[in-house]
Amino acid sequence: MTTDWDVTALLAGMARDLRPLIDPEQAAMIGIFTGGVWLARTLHAALGLQQPLGQVDISFYRDDFSQIGLHPQVRASDIPFDVDGRDIILVDDVLYTGRTVRAAMNEIFDYGRPARIRLAVLVDRGGHELPVAADVAALRLNATAGAHIKLRGPEPLRLELEQRRLQP
Amino acid sequence: MSAATFRFGEGNPQYDAQGRLRHLLSTEGLRERELLQILDTAESFLSIAHRSVKKTPTLRGRTIVNLFFENSTRTRSTFELAAKRLSADVLNIAVSTSSASKGESLIDTVDNLMAMQVDGFVLRHPEAGAAHLIACHLGDSALVVNAGDGQHAHPTQALLDVFTIRRLAGPIENRVVAIVGDVLHSRVARSQIHALSILGCPEIRVIGPRTLVPEELSALGVHVYHDLQAGLRGVDVICALRLQRERMVSHRLPSLNEFYHRFGLTPERLQWAAQGALVLHPGPMNRGVEIASEVADGAQSVILQQVAHGLAMRMAVLTILAGAAGGE
């Protein structure tokens, strides 16, 4: 089932909420593959950030690597600016357990020591398993464990919400 | 799963029962999609060498054994570094061939290491099939990477070579590649031929003296040349091979000088190939035998890039194989 959420409007809201938090000269943005990168492209342009957009693929940092193995398609992480001392906005599509964000932060710290990292997500669906919170979230839901929330894209961006039956 | 319950996936011991790549023994029989996945994953690892922390936590808690029954500098050290950059623990064991007997004793060595709860083996052995033997013995209980077995295969070398070609010479589907030199004794050449064929290389040539280039190779769809000038014409990539002096039976070659005179890669002969053709060599080089120093150190040489690519490639291979260990 798809919803009638207007992703473009949600993105505009994210940009509006981020603007007072950042200095566009100094701040830099990193999107998490795949959905986070799609969103970050729009946000990066909307905020007029001077640093080029970064992207991370957290496959090598996942905490469930030994259970599920390597994602069949790994993209190269690319952080084309100096991380040391920088304000970073980390962008992802859906915040759920917090494990992806933790993995992304671990990866970013392997590039250097940022001054601060803020988290911006399209959907905070609840169900966090780690002390991770979004600084900016366009939607805050209290989804049940069986709900499947996914951003489809890149053109057009569509937010899907599907209520799956729990596995027996 | 114990070794006794191991089953072949699709008849190839490299795959587990679920069809996932569990061991890397040979480029022969690899599926194109796995080969592409390995190349793409290596691409992702390449940039890690330029970060302030050159490590990922991917194999944290795993132990990889480098078990080398033959000398090696590049292969052993890049495997060691690859495993360490993936946060694995590494055990290096160099066994001199003279002190180790074959077959059962190799299995005994491996069984003893398995009793120490290790997770994988990188094996180099003078006997063809040694890695297969160990992979079949271990089944799903540990991963095995063949780092060279006799004259049979050296898959990670071939993978880093095709990776180098793809990155620096462009799409393999429209590149002419020549493998020059001692093809007969070369496990690298055999693995290169299979990898290039799977990736759709339109023309693979092998060039060398009759005594060192088996005619049967044409059965693999390879074009055989015994004349360097004819063989190099229009070639985009030249893979030089090391003349294996230690394996050379005297009657195969009158002299090393004679080989250089007829097949050595010199700057003048490089002109016979396509303009800007890349020169690869797996190392170690015999300068003045298969390759002139001016070529080895020249603008068309990508020999040191191959080493850097080898590290990323070995990280990719270890990650993919270790990844197949998880899940049910």
ipTM entry: 0.79
Q: B197-231 pLDDT, tens per residue?
A: 999 999 999 999 999 998 888 888 899 999 999 99
Q: Is the pLDDT of residue B2 over 70?
A: no
Cis peptide before B155 (omega within 30 of 0): no
Q: Which pLDDT score is estimated for B152?
A: 94
Q: Which pLDDT score is estimated for B125?
A: 94
Q: Which pLDDT score is estimated for B100?
A: 60
- Mean pLDDT for A8-23 is 96
Q: Is the pLDDT of residue B7 over 50?
A: no
Q: What percent of chain A has pLDDT over 70?
A: 95
Picking from B18, B318, B319, B328 by the largest number of A CB atoms within 10 A of its own CB, the best residue to mutate is B319
Average pLDDT, chain B: 90
Q: Which pLDDT score is estimated for A2?
A: 53
Q: Which domains does chain B have, with CATH numbers?
A: 3-154+310-326 (3.40.50.1370), 155-307 (3.40.50.1370)
Judged on CB neighbours under 10 Å (0-12, 13-18, 19+), B3 is: middle
Q: Which residue has the higher pLDDT, A4 or B153?
A: B153
Q: Which pLDDT score is estimated for A20?
A: 97
Q: Which pLDDT score is estimated for B6?
A: 38
Separation in Å, CA B82 to CA A56, B13, B48:
20, 24, 11
Encode burial over B300-322: b for 16+ CB neighbours within 10 A, e otherwise: bbbbebbbebbbbbbbbbbbbbb
- Mean pLDDT for B85-103 is 78
For residue A166, the 8-state DSSP code is P
Please report, in angstroms and rounded to a whole number, the separation of the first and last CA atoms in chain A: 22
Identity of residue B105: S
**pLDDT band at residue B3 using 50, 70 and 90 as cut-offs:** very low
Q: Which pLDDT score is estimated for B49?
A: 87
User: Are the beta carbons of B325 and A107 separated by less than 8 Å?
Assistant: no
Q: Is the pLDDT of residue B59 over 50?
A: yes
Cβ neighbours of A1 (radius 10 Å): 7
Q: What percent of chain A has pLDDT over 90?
A: 78
Q: Is the pLDDT of residue B321 over 50?
A: yes
User: Are the beta carbons of B56 and A72 separated by less than 8 Å?
Assistant: no
- Mean pLDDT for B251-262 is 84
Q: Which pLDDT score is estimated for B300?
A: 98
Please report, in angstroms and rounded to a whole number, the separation of the first and last CA atoms in chain B: 11
Nearest residue of B to residue A56, measured between CA atoms = B44
Which residues, listed in sequence order, are joined to residue B93 by a DSSP beta bridge? B67
Q: Which pLDDT score is estimated for B19?
A: 87
Encode burial over B179-200: b for 16+ CB neighbours within 10 A, e otherwise: bbbbbbbbbbbbbbbbbbebbe
**pLDDT band at residue B8 using 50, 70 and 90 as cut-offs:** very low
For chains A and B, CB pairs below 8 A equal 63
Q: What percent of chain B has pLDDT over 70?
A: 91
Q: Which pLDDT score is estimated for B97?
A: 55
Q: Which residue has the higher pLDDT, B49 or B167?
A: B167
List the single range of A15-29, A102-116, B99-113, B116-130 with lowest mean pLDDT. B99-113
Nearest residue of B to residue A112, measured between CA atoms = B52
State CA B307 to chain mean position distance: 12
d(CA A53, CA A31): 8
List the single range of A69-73, A74-78, B3-7, B58-62 with lowest mean pLDDT. B3-7
Nearest residue, CB atoms, B327 vs list A69, A73, A110: A69
> What pTM was estimated for this model as a whole?
0.89
- Measure the CA angle with vertex B327, ends A130 and B5; round to 5°: 150
- Measure the CA angle with vertex B302, ends B47 and B316; round to 5°: 35
Q: Is the pLDDT of residue A138 over 90?
A: yes
Q: Which pLDDT score is estimated for B257?
A: 86
Q: Which pLDDT score is estimated for B11?
A: 66
User: Are the beta carbons of A57 and B324 separated by less than 8 Å?
Assistant: no
Q: Is the pLDDT of residue A131 over 90?
A: yes
Nearest residue of A to residue B33, measured between CA atoms = A72
**pLDDT band at residue B10 using 50, 70 and 90 as cut-offs:** very low
